[in-house]
Amino acid sequence: MTALVLLGDKPLAKGNVGPTLTITEQDVATYMADAGDGQSVVPVKTGEQLSELEALEALLIPSGNNIAETLARWDAGSVAAFVAKMNERAAALNLKHTTFADPAGVSTQTVSTPTDLLAIGMAAMQQEVLAQVVNMPEATLPVAGKVYNVNYVLGQSGIIGIKTGSGLNSGANFLFAATASVDAELVTLYGCVMGQPTLDAAFKAAMALIGTMKAALKVRQVITANEVLGRYDTAWGGHSDLVAINNVTLVLWPGMIIRQRLDAQMPVVDRPLARGTPAGKLNIVMGDQHADVPVITADPLDPPGTSWRLTRINF
């Protein structure tokens, strides 16, 4: 969430390094205090300059708790102000069981659930730069030198990120994303395991989940282009099928329900309407997947003739 909020305030396009922050004496003091507490830290030095990209690498790859505070102050002016932004973003994502009390996740008052963490992870991976960083095995920083990803199972079982959390009384946690081939389609799987005795156990549990998901998932085309989804009948005897203009493919999980709603929005037929006239959309929802399929007329439609109009004149 720290990275997500930062990138919301200071967007960074892939291929750019972004603005530069300068490490202060306060940042060094934070590093010393966190190191003294046995936390996961990244060495820094007063006057050191980090680009936004390097700061994200320091935050996410070796899991620098001190960097989380540095970024909080750089972005919002104070840790408290930044934590408020984190909770605002959590509310925007409709996370009912998540509260942030610090930017590093060290405080026992910072709490969440696997379901909420999944929502954060899926939102985070939409940020191209963030997805790139969490998939890096290592990085080189100005003072710390070469740092290695705490997520040392990158590449195994298709894992491409996202973040570990361990060393606290709550056990080892792992929020992950993995690519998998399902029915010859490349899909991204998300999962979260929490409260494992060790990080190794969290990784093993994650890989077991990935295997189970791959075995159960199916990729199916649920709508085909030109498929008839409805029919429009005029009062004067004209009619046209309403058809989809494109295909829709979904990743299906056993027991999930596909919901469809046709919102027909036919124009007034007061003049000849050609085949292919826009006629609304079909809304499809299944879990977190949704699609709006434009619908068009399959046949031309003519307005009412003179005799039909004359027989319906009220005197």
Give the pLDDT confidence score for residue 39 in this predicted structure: 92
Closest listed residue to residue 21, CA positions, set 45, 55, 68, 44? 55
CB distance 70 to 21 below 8 Å: yes
Give the pLDDT confidence score for residue 119 in this predicted structure: 95
Give the pLDDT confidence score for residue 314 in this predicted structure: 59
Give the pLDDT confidence score for residue 9 in this predicted structure: 96
Residue spans per domain, the chain: 1-111, 221-308
In this prediction the pTM is 0.85
C-beta pairs of 33-41 under 8 Å, 24+ apart in sequence: 34/65, 34/66, 35/66, 38/167, 39/65, 39/66, 39/104, 39/106, 39/167, 40/64, 40/65, 40/150, 40/167, 41/65, 41/66
Q: What is the pLDDT of residues 226-267, one digit of tens each?
A: 999 999 999 899 999 999 999 999 999 889 999 999 999 988
Name the packing angle between helices 52-60 and 65-76 (round to 10°): 140
Closest listed residue to residue 175, CA positions, set 159, 191, 160? 191
- Which class is domain 1-111? alpha beta
Q: What is the pLDDT of residues 112-135, one digit of tens each?
A: 999 999 999 999 999 999 999 999
What architecture is domain 221-308?
Answer: Sandwich (2.60)
DSSP readout, the chain?
A: -HHHHHHHHS---TT----EEE--HHHHHHHHHHHHTT-------TT-EEEHHHHHHHHHSS--HHHHHHHHHHHHSSHHHHHHHHHHHHHHTT-TT-B-SSSSS-STT-B--HHHHHHHHHHHTTSHHHHHHHT-SEEEETTTEEEE-S-TTTTGGGEEEEEEEEEETTEEEEEEEEEEEETTEEEEEEEEEEEESSHHHHHHHHHHHHHHHHHH-EEEEEE-TT-EEEEEE-TTS-EEEEEESS-EEEEE-TT---EEEEEE-PPP-SS-B-TT-EEEEEEEEETTEEEEEEEEESS-B-PPPHHHHHTT---
- Which two tokens mark 223? 């709508």
Backbone angles phi, psi at 239, to 5 degrees: -160, 155
Name the packing angle between helices 2-9 and 79-92 (round to 10°): 90
Backbone angles phi, psi at 245, to 5 degrees: -100, -10
Give residues with Cβ within 8 angstroms of 143, minimum separation 6.
43, 44, 45, 48
Give the pLDDT confidence score for residue 56 in this predicted structure: 98
What span, in angstroms and rounded, lies between the C-alpha atoms of 179 and 134? Answer: 14
What span, in angstroms and rounded, lies between the C-alpha atoms of 177 and 131? Answer: 10
In the chain, which stretches have pLDDT less than 70?
Answer: 168-169, 313-315
Give the pLDDT confidence score for residue 313 in this predicted structure: 67
Backbone angles phi, psi at 50, to 5 degrees: -125, 135
Give the pLDDT confidence score for residue 241 in this predicted structure: 96
Query: Radius of gyration of the chain from Cα atoms?
Result: 27
